Amino acid sequence: MQVYEEAETVGSTWYWNRYPGARCDSEAYIYCFTWDKQLLQEWEWSERYPEQPEILRYLEHVAKRHDLRSNIQFNTRVIGAEFDAVTNLWKVQTDKGEEVTACYVIAAVGPLSYANTPQLNGLEKFNGRFYHTSRFPHAGVDFTNKRVAVVGTGATAVQVVPEIARSATQLTVFQRTANYCVPARNGKVDPDLVKARKADYDGIIKRIRESRGGFEHWPIRKSALQATPEEREREFDRMWDTGGFAFWAGNYQDILISQKANDLCADYIKRKIRERVKDPIVAEKLIPKDHPYGTKRQPLETNYYETFNKDNVLLVDASTDGAIEEITEEGIRAGGKEYEFDIIVFATGFDALTGPLKALNLKGRDGQRLDQAWADGPHTYLGLSIAGFPNLFTITGPQSPSVLSNVPVSIEQHVEWITDCIDNMRKTGKAIIEAAQQAQDEWVARVNQIVNMTLMPRANSWYMGANIADKPRAFLAYLDPLGVGGYRKRCDEVAAKGYSGFTLA
Ligand code: NAP
């Protein structure tokens, strides 16, 4: 086995995303590997949602402990891979000029790794410095006495904005779409709770694997519309006070299906925003108007809304103040007005899920290119495999639960499934496994049929590919009615039936 990694060390997302305030949004006790049972007992996380350096330290520790580096070639980018139907091998090219052959290619390129820096007119003229949050300088950036712009108000911006506001002379946040942000409620975890969790890790692992979103939260088994106003308020308060993904994954079961149920939940968050932001005009700008709650990734916040009460923080909202028109030598022109900056931080997200896979320049049977096969959006079988691309697997790829889950749970599920599959291929003397076109078409139809029963398509979200100009509008993940547990069961059933839906040769 040979692993190629573009970075100089392990860590992936936690290697690249070094912006101030970067921390996980899943609770650390379930945002870790579950296959090293001893490490689950030994490792002590410093808080509920640890910061990027701590997560990177953990990943480096795991790599060292299991001697993983010896199989990884660092500082190497894969720039192409082509399937050879004569030899049944993949030819993989790297940016170091190497070409290697492989029976299997496993694309573990991450769903959120291909940075989206908007192609704004004039960026090359800007006299100051600019950074994308996912490519932040390792030495950090000193914002003291600086006039800073943050472009974007997604999960990353919601983490970075309060941090920059502490030291910048002036921080201006450019918002294209307001978001429903929910408190993270970070802090030290009660040592008794840590102890109890360590004593029950087998139970925890079972529960998150069978859960809806890979968390220990389960939906309230009734409609929000059936609850009395008092009961609803109690439940919303409970989830709000719990913090984190309790609000999304543990909400009423019809929150993502019924607009009326969703409105009740959205109104609760809107009230919270109005309570926390002192200037009512700013509060109204921060209140989402164009999409239902939960149809965009819910950012977790710590003092995000209060940051807009500070004298050195200004919100420029595209719909009320005017959209960004261009970058000038001195800063940003929006709504006909020029704002001057020393530093621009682009918290503008990613070409999610399909972007990193297309960047591999994959060619399957008959030289078919992945970007052509996916011209109208992703087509996969189970989000694991692609018809016409034999012996290629994707980890947390498009049309799997991936970004709609606590991602380590989904990563481990795919890794285990693919490992078992390759093992089975060896034992049964098979050389080729390939998704059948019909099974793939049925999977794509299922992905779309389910999402179309929800409110998700009503948002111009990156889940729908709507954040990137020219990207086809298509739902990029998979929303199983029974969550990651239901999806796991389906994948396991396919394997148990001799890999039904695949052609084996
Ligand atoms: P994002 O959610 O896509 O947010 C990007 C922001 O930039 C949005 O507000 C977007 O506006 C804005 N934007 C994009 N292009 C723009 C343009 N040309 N002009 C003006 N504004 C523009 O990206 P992200 O915040 O980096 O988060 C991406 C995902 O990464 C998250 O949803 C989450 O899954 C993951 N993440 C995880 C963590 C964690 O677990 N700790 C932290 C951060 C991020 P629109 O909304 O209008 O498109």
Give the span between the Cα atoms of 10 and 196, in whole angstroms.
31
Return the best residue to mutate from 467, 470, 476 for the ligand 1 pocket (most ligand atoms within 8 A of CB): 467
Q: Which residue's CA is the closest to the ligand 1 atom numbered 5?
A: 348
Distance 346 CA to ligand 1 centre (A): 9
pLDDT band at 485 (very low <50, low <70, confident <90, very high): very high
Question: CA-based angle 296:302:303, to the nearest 5?
Answer: 110
pLDDT at 361: 98
Distance 188 CA to ligand 1 centre (A): 27
Pocket of ligand 1, beta carbon within 6 A: 23-25, 112, 118, 151-157, 159, 174, 176-177, 297, 324, 347-350, 403, 462, 467
Distance 417 CA to ligand 1 centre (A): 30
Q: Which residue's CA is the closest to the ligand 1 atom numbered 12?
A: 152
**What mean pLDDT do residues 204-232 have?**
97
Work out the mean pLDDT of the chain and round it to a whole number. 98
Distance 500 CA to ligand 1 centre (A): 37
- Which atom of ligand 1 lies nearest, measured to the CA of 26? 40
Distances in Å between the Cα of 47 and the Cα atoms of 52, 184, 188, 235, 436 are 12, 12, 4, 25, 46
Which residue bears the tokens 């591999």? 360
Distance 408 CA to ligand 1 centre (A): 20
**What mean pLDDT do residues 415-444 have?**
98
pLDDT at 505: 96
pLDDT in tens, 368-389: 999 999 999 999 999 999 999 9
- Which atom of ligand 1 lies nearest, measured to the CA of 120? 18
Question: CA-based angle 160:469:363, to the nearest 5?
Answer: 105
Distance 461 CA to ligand 1 centre (A): 9
**What mean pLDDT do residues 311-324 have?**
98
pLDDT at 486: 98
Contact (CB, 8 A) for 345 and 140: no
Contact (CB, 8 A) for 392 and 422: no
Q: Which residue's CA is the closest to the ligand 1 atom numbered 35?
A: 155
Distance 169 CA to ligand 1 centre (A): 24
Q: State the pairing for strand pair 105-107/392-394.
A: parallel
pLDDT at 170: 98
Q: Which residue's CA is the closest to the ligand 1 atom numbered 31?
A: 155
**What mean pLDDT do residues 251-268 have?**
98
Give the span between the Cα atoms of 258 and 293, in whole angstroms.
11
Distances in Å between the Cα of 324 and the Cα atoms of 134, 307, 316, 327 are 21, 22, 9, 8
pLDDT at 389: 98
Q: Which two tokens stand for residue 156?
A: 């990353």
The DSSP line for 10-64 is: S-THHHH---TT-B-SS-GGGSS-SS-HHHHHH---SSSS-BHHHHHHHHHHHHH
- Which atom of ligand 1 lies nearest, measured to the CA of 297? 32
pLDDT at 468: 95
pLDDT band at 137 (very low <50, low <70, confident <90, very high): very high
**What mean pLDDT do residues 462-488 have?**
97
**What mean pLDDT do residues 36-63 have?**
98
Question: CA-based angle 422:428:431, to the nearest 5?
Answer: 60
CB atoms near residue 225 (< 10 Å): 13
pLDDT at 356: 98
pLDDT at 481: 95
Q: What would you report as the CA-atom Rg of the chain, rounded to the nearest whole angstrom?
A: 23
pLDDT in tens, 150-170: 999 999 999 999 999 999 999
Distance 26 CA to ligand 1 centre (A): 17
Percentage of the chain beyond pLDDT 90 is: 100
* Type of residue at 325: E
- Which atom of ligand 1 lies nearest, measured to the CA of 177? 47
- φ and ψ of 150, to 5 deg: -115, 125
pLDDT at 436: 98
